């Protein structure tokens, strides 16, 4: 049985590995000159492979898609992933936050070892092949530097990624190709992304590029439940990005979609409460400047003081009780998420409802989907890669299972 994988990111490579191990002849095609480019980029940030938290909590990271991920992660979850990496000669460790990384914090050695093993298993790689759809039943079309190519496949796994960082290969050009075949797709949106604020010229000039540390983001979900997320982020030319902003980005993006703007509430003094801050700020200032008073009484200085000045009115600034409330819940108005191209990951994609349990597109028998091109999202923390590996494995095995049953059916 000849299985074609289109897309050589973590999901496609895992699909290739599982299909090949199950006895299929596997050819993998990728648009770029080499595979795994986004995976290598993830390695620049330490390659957070997965997370060590209890399975229920882990599963909750997939939000409304937890039902679909439960069986996928039950067969290939964080422990299986760590064992798999170990099998490639890559030891992993659990960081202080519970996140799991390769011992050397790099992606390249893992990818090298993996590709070596895949080639040894007989997987054939065809780079600089951009999939452009189908020219007939089971006949895939590719553009290559040497012209167009048609490739026959008994089954196909599409693992084409989302739409973030398109220069690394995933440019979402598959969306119209599947949409015209009536595959149901949720619109692609940025996930784990930054936001535009529209800073004043003065604030931007003074603080763009500054990290804001020891803060917490407070967000309210659509059901009205408030959650508090400690962390840090960075002020950008246009707004905010990084760590804790990514954590709360799905709720903020959805609020912007629903209302046009969103309010990010920042706790600039997570270790103090409002009464303590009010008491400290009410102490006589004497001849000290307000900046010195804020620093001495509330440990607020630099970019945090700048944020207060940017957002809080003069009247509120002069009132210790109102200033204390602002320090604990500074409302920063967000006007737009940053574009998908800049996001860490993609929300939206092929709906699970369009797929069967093996991840085969119901309306396109023999065509399976995996990875970030599916409609799910999760925060950073290793959940993205874990999901790509798990869906890649399921799609690869699903393709073999489908072909095997079809053969048996024909013989019978």
Ligand X SMILES: Cc1cc2nc3c(=O)[nH]c(=O)nc-3n(C[C@H](O)[C@H](O)[C@H](O)COP(=O)(O)OP(=O)(O)OC[C@H]3O[C@@H](n4cnc5c(N)ncnc54)[C@H](O)[C@@H]3O)c2cc1C
Q: How many CB atoms lie within 10 A of CB 298?
A: 23
- HEC letters along the chain: CEEEEECCCHHHHHHHHHHHHCCCEEEEECCCCCCCHHHHHHHHCCCCCEECCCHHHHHHCCHHHHHHHHHHHHHCCHHHHHHHHHHCCCCEEECCCCEEEECCCCCHHHHHHHHHHHHHCCCEEECCCEEEEEEECCEEEEEECCEEEEEECCEEEECCCCCCCHHHCCCCCHHHHHHCCCCCEEEEEEECCCEECCCCHHHHHHHCCCEEEEEEEEEECCCCCEEEEEEEEEECCCEEECHHHHHCHHHHHHHHHHHCCEEEEEECCCCCCHHHHHHHHHCCCCCCCHHHHHHHHHCCCHHHHHHHHHHCCHHHHHCHHHHHHHHHCEEEEECEECCHHHCCEEEEEECHHHECCCCEECCCCCEEECHHHECCCCCCCCHHHHHHHHHHHHHHHHHHHHHHHHHHHHHC
Among 31, 234, 298, 369, binds ligand X (CB under 6 A): 31
Among 29, 76, 352, 368, binds ligand X (CB under 6 A): 29
Q: Does 156 bind ligand X (CB under 6 A)?
A: no
- Residue 10 Cβ, how far from ligand X at the closest point, in Å? 5
Task: Please answer whether residues 64 and 162 qualify as being in contact, where contact means their C-beta atoms are separated by less than 8 angstroms.
Answer: no
Q: How far is the CB of 233 from ligand X (least distance, A)?
A: 16
Q: Can residue 159 be called a binding residue for ligand X (CB under 6 A)?
A: yes
Q: Which residue has the tokens 């189908």?
A: 134
Under rule CB under 6 A, residue 32 binds ligand X: yes
By the rule CB under 6 A, 157 interacts with ligand X:
no
CB atoms within 10 A of CB 8: 29
CB 250 within 8 A of CB 63: yes
* Residue 396 interacts with ligand X (CB under 6 A): yes or no: no
Q: How far is the CB of 46 from ligand X (least distance, A)?
A: 6
Only one of the segments 42-50, 245-253, 283-291, 310-318 lies at the binding site for ligand X (rule: CB under 6 A); that segment is: 42-50
Nearest to 397 by CA among 87, 3, 8: 3
- Binding ligand X (rule: CB under 6 A), the pick from 1, 3, 5, 7 is 7
Closer CB to ligand X, 60 or 313, in the complex: 60
Regarding 11 and contact with ligand X (CB under 6 A), the answer is yes
Q: Under rule CB under 6 A, how many of the chain's residues touch ligand X?
A: 39
Q: Quick check: 349 binds ligand X (CB under 6 A)?
A: no
Among residues 26, 151, 160, 359, the one that binds ligand X under rule CB under 6 A: 160
Q: Of 16, 19, 39, 234, which one interacts with ligand X (CB under 6 A)?
A: 39
CB of 73 to ligand X, least distance (A): 13
Interface segment toward ligand X; rule CB under 6 A; list 2-10, 206-214, 321-329, 348-356: 2-10
Does 131 help bind ligand X (rule: CB under 6 A)?
A: yes
345 binds ligand X (CB under 6 A): yes
Across the strands, what pairs with 125?
A: 28
Residues 171-230 that bind ligand X (CB under 6 A): 173-174
Binding segment toward ligand X, per CB under 6 A, in 34-42, 218-226, 228-236, 267-275: 34-42
- Answer yes or no whether residue 52 interacts with ligand X by CB under 6 A: no
Answer yes or no whether residue 9 interacts with ligand X by CB under 6 A. yes
Out of 388, 394, 397, 403, name the contact with ligand X by CB under 6 A.
388
Q: Is 38 in the site for ligand X (CB under 6 A)?
A: yes
Q: From the list 385, 394, 399, 403, which residue makes contact with ligand X (rule: CB under 6 A)?
A: 385
Q: Does 163 bind ligand X (CB under 6 A)?
A: no
Q: 61 or 293, CB closer to ligand X?
A: 61
Using CB under 6 A as the criterion, which residues of the chain lie in contact with ligand X when the complex forms?
6-12, 29-32, 35, 37-39, 41-42, 45, 47-48, 130-131, 159-161, 164-165, 169-170, 173-174, 344-345, 371-372, 382, 384-385, 388
């Amino acid at each position: 049985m000849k299985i074609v994988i289109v897309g050589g990111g973590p999901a496609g490579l895992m699909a290739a590995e599982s299909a090949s191990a199950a006895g299929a002849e596997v050819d993998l095609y990728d648009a770029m000159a080499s595979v795994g480019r986004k995976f290598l980029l993830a390695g620049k940030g330490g390659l957070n492979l997965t997370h060590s938290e209890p399975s229920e909590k882990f599963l909750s990271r997939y939000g409304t898609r937890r039902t679909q991920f439960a069986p996928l992660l039950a067969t290939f979850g964080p422990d299986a992933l760590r064992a798999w990496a170990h099998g490639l000669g890559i030891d992993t460790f659990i960081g202080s936050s519970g996140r799991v990384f390769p011992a050397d914090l790099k992606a390249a050695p893992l990818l090298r070892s993996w590709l070596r093993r895949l080639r040894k298993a007989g997987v054939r790689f065809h780079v600089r092949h951009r999939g452009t759809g189908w020219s007939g039943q089971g006949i895939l079309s590719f553009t290559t530097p040497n012209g167009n190519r048609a490739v026959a496949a008994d089954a196909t796994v599409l693992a084409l990624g989302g739409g973030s960082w398109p220069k690394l290969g995933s440019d979402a050009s598959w969306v119209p190709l599947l949409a015209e075949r009536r595959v149901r797709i949720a619109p692609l949106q940025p996930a784990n992304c930054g936001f535009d604020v529209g800073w004043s010229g003065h604030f931007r000039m003074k603080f763009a590029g500054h990290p804001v540390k020891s803060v917490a983001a407070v967000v309210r979900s659509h059901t009205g439940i408030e959650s508090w997320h400690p962390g840090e982020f960075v002020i950008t030319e246009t707004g905010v990005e990084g760590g804790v902003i990514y954590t709360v980005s799905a709720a903020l993006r959805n609020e912007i979609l629903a209302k046009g703007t969103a309010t990010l509430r920042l706790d600039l003094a997570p270790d103090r409460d409002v009464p303590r801050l009010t008491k400290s700020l009410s102490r006589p200032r004497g001849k000290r400047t307000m900046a010195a008073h804020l620093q001495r009484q509330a440990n607020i200085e630099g970019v945090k003081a700048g944020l207060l000045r940017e957002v809080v009115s003069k009247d509120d600034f002069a009132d210790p009780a109102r200033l204390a409330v602002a320090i604990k819940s500074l409302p920063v108005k967000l006007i737009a998420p940053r574009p998908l191209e800049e996001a860490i990951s993609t929300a939206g994609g092929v709906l699970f409802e369009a797929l069967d349990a093996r991840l085969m597109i119901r309306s396109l028998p023999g065509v399976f989907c995996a990875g970030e091109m599916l409609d799910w999202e999760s925060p950073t923390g290793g959940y993205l890669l874990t999901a790509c590996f798990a869906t890649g494995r399921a799609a690869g095995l699903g393709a073999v299972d489908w072909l095997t049953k079809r053969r048996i059916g024909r013989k019978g």
